[in-house]
């Protein structure tokens, strides 16, 4: 790895509009009530985390497929344009191996950073530190919370990520790898 390279852990996450329930404090004898409905709409999120710098990059998408993954890679190329190489550590999702993605990576010219994909062993989410960010996101945004509309959920997700526009110690400590 060169001094001008960046290492990012990448993954996708889906959040459903349906309330997720978890433990919570309540006065003795008072059962907490959380409104819920049967709407199964969801928000798809592509994200990367740079645990060494405490940086997060995310993108909300209609679906998770090769086209939206390529759009996210293009966003990373813009964000890390000053880097000579983007090292992306990711899982073995089908969209990561798509022919379209391989062709896209091959066609990158010398004026943009090169993206290198490093795939983790199958069925090993514990090795991808961004999984900790997804857990934290769910805890902070969706647990025990009812959203009247998908737009409200999207707004809550965007609000969560605005805290991490600049590198933070929260991300560094949450995603520590050493």
Query: What does 35-64 look like in DSSP terms, one character per residue?
Result: -------EEEEEEEEETTTTEEEEEEESS-
The residues, ordered by sequence, that sit 6+ positions from 76 with a Cβ below 8 Å of its Cβ are: 8, 48, 57, 86, 88, 115
Segment 157-175 shows an average pLDDT of: 90
pLDDT category, 24, cuts 50, 70, 90? low
For residue 155, pLDDT beyond 90: yes
What was the pLDDT predicted at 125?
Answer: 86
Position 174 scores a pLDDT of 84
Of 36-50, 65-79, 149-163, where does mean pLDDT reach its minimum?
Answer: 36-50
List b or e across 61-72, with b for residues whose CB sees 16 or more CB atoms inside 10 angstroms: beebebebbbeb
**Cα separation of 43 and 78, whole Å?**
23
pLDDT bucket at 32, cuts 50 / 70 / 90: low
Cα dihedral 133, 138, 139, 144 in deg (nearest 10): 180
Mean pLDDT score, 38-61: 91
pLDDT band at residue 36 under the 50/70/90 scheme: low
Q: Choose among 133, 13, 137, 142: nearest CA to 72.
A: 13
> Residue 125: CB partners within 8 Å, gap ≥ 6?
91, 131
Sheet arrangement for strand 114-119: 55-61, 42-50, 5-16, 85-90, 114-119
Q: What is the mean pLDDT of residues 97-106?
A: 95
Where do runs of H (alpha helix) occur along the chain?
66-79, 99-107, 130-137, 150-162, 169-174
């Amino acid at each position: 790895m060169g001094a001008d390279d960046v290492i990012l852990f990448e993954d996708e996450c889906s959040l459903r509009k349906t309330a997720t329930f978890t433990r919570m404090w309540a006065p003795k004898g008072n059962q907490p009530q959380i409104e819920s409905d049967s709407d199964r709409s969801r928000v798809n999120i592509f994200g990367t985390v740079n645990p060494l710098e405490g940086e997060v990059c995310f993108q909300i998408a209609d679906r998770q497929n090769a086209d939206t993954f390529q759009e996210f890679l293009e966003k990373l190329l813009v964000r890390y344009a000053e880097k000579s190489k983007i090292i992306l550590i990711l899982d073995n999702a089908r969209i990561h191996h798509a022919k379209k993605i391989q062709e896209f990576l091959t066609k990158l010219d010398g004026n943009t950073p090169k993206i290198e994909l490093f795939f983790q062993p199958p069925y090993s989410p514990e090795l991808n530190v961004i999984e900790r960010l997804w857990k934290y996101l769910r805890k902070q945004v969706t647990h025990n919370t009812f959203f009247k509309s998908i737009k409200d959920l999207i707004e809550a997700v965007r609000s969560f990520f605005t805290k991490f526009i600049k590198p933070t110690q929260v991300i560094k400590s949450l995603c520590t790898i050493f």
